[in-house]
Amino acid sequence: MRYLLFVLSLLAALTTQLVSTCLAAWSDGAGTQDASPPSIVTPSIWASACFWIFGCANPTTSNTPPESRQKTAADRVEELYSGFAVGTDAQGNEGYNAAQAAEQQLLVDFVSSFQNPQKNAANLTAWDQEQDQLLNDALKYAGSKALDAAATYWGETHLNLPVISPEELIALANTMQVSDQAGEREFDQYMANYLAIRFDTLNRLTGQYQTAISDIDGLHIPLDLADLQTELCIDEFARTIGKSKPIKP
């Protein structure tokens, strides 16, 4: 294909050059017969040919349509979360069901990677790759809320709320009752660390605030259920914006 474009562009350029030469000869009259014939293959012809080769027939360009790209684990979680039916939650607990679906799939992915810890050339496990993409996608403008919603749902259903500090949150994850499935406790620890990092932003969402003395002393406002429900509502608003909701009878 690359060479066919080269031939076609060269022929087109030659035709243009010949027409230009004939027009010049016609306008100048017989005086042009004594002149040396111009070179047909001019730099402009080669420039034209090269433009078509490298501009329109880049050999590294893939003809594979974007939708046929193999989906990653993160893609599947994000599609599961974003595509979940709208309006299925109880009032005041918006976002719960979509977040539950995302959290359950993340648990499956985490445990699978934990039990099969093969690494790629970049020394990343399957879970490393998945969570890196989820975090990167979350940082984009109007980015995915799948990981945030899943962690918030995990906090609602696994923590003994309220939790007074990030340290207590992490300690709870280390002592939770889990099944014998390898990787389940480590998943709880991952989710606890995610929420611990966001602790002081989550517990301000319901209008609570710290005093100046509390800030100086490094004290924390306890994280409670209302904080997590508010966060889920925010994530759900971002997830469903522009989507039509079912009409209730």
Cα 231 to Cα 35: distance, rounded to the nearest angstrom: 83
Tell me the C-alpha distance between 99 and 96, whole Å: 5
| Domain chopping of the chain, boundaries | 2-64, 72-240
pLDDT at 137 over 80: yes
Higher pLDDT, 91 or 3: 91
The rounded distance, in Å, linking the Cα atoms of 108 and 116 is 12
pTM over 0.85: no
Query: Tell me, what's the pLDDT at 23?
Result: 38
CA distance 51 to 138: 39
Give pLDDT tens digits for 84-101. Answer: 999 888 887 899 999 999
Is residue 136 scored above 90 in pLDDT? yes
